Structure 1
């Protein structure tokens, strides 16, 4: 390619950044993804074969895909369906019914949705059925165009499958599986649930790194080939960087699920802009820092000096009384000792103001009332528990903006 042609295809840097953000965000948010199926290749092959036996050979089947959230259940099923439905003749002859236990909370609602998704509202009309079994059998019978081999296959996907098992008498599940075992019509019933752990990612750290490369690489059809080439070359070098490898290793050791990785990479991607057009090792380090931040310690950074003093007083009380609960009156007394010792009128707040600050700490869920206590107890004497530990308070004081020296010294004396 001549230099002239290459320049003609170049886009403004801002446009390249917009394209990168659009394409990679779409991929990381799982509306698009690489072809790599990390650790579930065998399960994918088995599921494809099972579905093919239904849509091609008219054989009824059922399967339950079990795994924790983020392990790839939905991705596995979506990939398998895409693979078997690439042939137009098959796609046009297969009906899909998508149900979710969070939405179809009883069998009546589920049957209504099945009717809607199969476009059989006009066929059912005002007909009254004596049972769910009769209703379901009628729906499937309406899809028949002849014998079993010419009947239209139906794929039932039941997400949050365990919630359907809580329906009264499990009538819908009973009838679906009964149909799958009979010769009524070719159906496949696929359930997805995170109730039990079975589908576990078995990929190695090398597979994990390759997954990161796939997720962040720009495709060949990227509008600006020059920028795309620089981006991918920079990414390759970056993934060999020791700091980046340490970040990914820590993430891998913490959680192997791809959804967690996607969230980390989204934070990395957010740092790309016109003045910072390529990823750097610092972006990964900063993203990891943000992911591992302590939310309660961050809340402390926004407290007023009075509220921070009350937190220190509570921690001091816990040290003195070995973690026993406290009430507002005890905290106020401890705070007053500090004020008198330092002889600082700047901290001499009226009691109602201090109580208001105490209640704000409760609203922020930094303290909570002890369970089983009577609500009739005066709020000044209601026993409370601090939901922070030494390390969180220490970290917050180090980063607290313009923290008065005497307050910091008081805190250190109670944290020692």
Structure 2
């Protein structure tokens, strides 16, 4: 292997390792601190706590907990004075399995004086007796993580949840219960007796929150971190090559066209996992024939990312449904991708119809049906699950970017009324 190929191979391996092994969560500093302080108060002060970590799939709930546990494991006090138990709703499908796993992870021997407890009731009684023995000054703290918490709510009578929350209210053993779920209505799944013993502390991880929005500057800094050689790099590769590589990456990051590409990535709601997948594909394309990164690499991958089945589905929308999507586009442009409801979009649509005499007026009920069809096509998603709002006021998030809607209108302009095309391309109104 010549020197050039060797450098490229090392570069690929190093950058891929950097991306895959990095577990930093951007924008969740406050939530991370809240969880960490809760566990620290349980272990150091003997407090008992319970909390639910709620967020969409792939929003970083499990990664956040892993980061918190890694931080706590660096402190010797926490390693020696606590016991961690992790259960998963997809694996521990009933209370018996969950209880067996808990006793195993807590290193509890369920044989006393030669008697082995066999029934669920006996095992549960033994576990509760162990948890309630001692006092909060001398007993080891127990941290229990329940992944897919909503699935534990399906267990018969919610016996395990009831007893764990009941113990967390006692003063004997410091107990911290952390549940993770994507169900916004998870509290409503709890039985009354369980709900009364839960602290009702909830922490939300939502891509709609300002603190989790991947702004342009922070996202570019994140990309720069992943694609450059750090100062502590110790592999056998010439310093001149490293410097030239870092300079090349910096030139790409400072380019205005690149910034526009990254802004498009933000517009299509790019999360951390999506960003890493794109970067990994770009790094994998490096070879002896292509030894440097270019803006075209990012442009091509972004085009692949944006070209999905959802865009193909737009071919089936009616003119009325397209008008609603354009109204949603204008709403997102004006209010920086904030959530919307039917009333907001209907008002904007009516304003457009009244300003164009050639557009036929449609009854409100028909517009509602078109809005519901857009939801069924999964072009918008409800974020008001579990609430009792009327359907006109339920909040939704648009799953298309403004650029995608404009591209579809441009491609299909021949079959779309001129007024609709002009509205889509007009300034924000």
- Cα gap change, 1:23 to 1:99, in 2 (>3 Å): farther
Deviations 1:309-339 (A, max 9, x none): xxxxxx9xxxxxxxxxxxxxxxxxxxxxxxx
> Is 2:144 aligned against 1:160?
no
Counterpart in 1 of 2:290? 276
Counterpart in 2 of 1:174? 162
> Is 2:14 aligned against 1:26?
no
> Is 2:232 aligned against 1:244?
no
**Which of 42, 55, 58 is residue 67 of structure 1 equivalent to?**
55
Alpha-carbon shift at residue 123 of structure 1 (Å): 4.6
Q: Give the superposed CA RMSD.
A: 2.9
> Is 2:234 aligned against 1:204?
no
Counterpart in 2 of 1:285? 299
Counterpart in 1 of 2:281? 267
Gaps of at least 5 residues in structure 2 are 186-203, 207-211, 316-406, 412-429
CA distance in 1, matches of 2:39, 2:67: 12
Counterpart in 1 of 2:125? 134
CA distance in 2, matches of 1:60, 1:23: 43
CA distance in 2, matches of 1:276, 1:112: 55
- Between 1:162-171 and 1:205-214, the stretch displaced more is 205-214
**Which of 241, 249, 253 is residue 227 of structure 1 equivalent to?**
241
CA distance in 2, matches of 1:213, 1:174: 48
Aligned length: 286
- Cα gap change, 1:16 to 1:59, in 2 (>3 Å): farther
CA distance in 1, matches of 2:6, 2:184: 46
Matches within 5 A, 1:85-124: 85-121=73-109, 123=111
Bigger Cα Rg:
1
Match of 1:96, SS state, is strand
CA distance in 1, matches of 2:205, 2:107: 34
Counterpart in 2 of 1:330? none
Q: Do the aligned residues in 1 keep the contact of 2:32 with 2:64 (CA within 8 Å)?
A: yes
CA distance in 1, matches of 2:264, 2:22: 26
Q: Do the aligned residues in 1 keep the contact of 2:88 with 2:147 (CA within 8 Å)?
A: yes
Match of 1:195, SS state, is coil
Matches within 5 A, 1:249-328: 249-294=263-308
Match of 2:176, SS state, is strand
Deviations 1:5-25 (A, max 9, x none): xxxxxx944343333333332
Q: Do the aligned residues in 1 keep the contact of 2:145 with 2:179 (CA within 8 Å)?
A: yes
Match of 1:56, SS state, is helix
CA distance in 2, matches of 1:13, 1:95: 51
Q: Do the aligned residues in 2 keep the contact of 1:40 with 1:202 (CA within 8 Å)?
A: no
Gaps of at least 5 residues in structure 1 are 1-10, 299-314, 316-390, 396-416
Counterpart in 2 of 1:378? none
Q: Structure 2 length normalisation: TM-score?
A: 0.60
Q: Structure 1 length normalisation: TM-score?
A: 0.62
Match of 2:179, SS state, is strand
Matches within 5 A, 1:177-188: 177-188=165-176
CA distance in 2, matches of 1:54, 1:226: 51
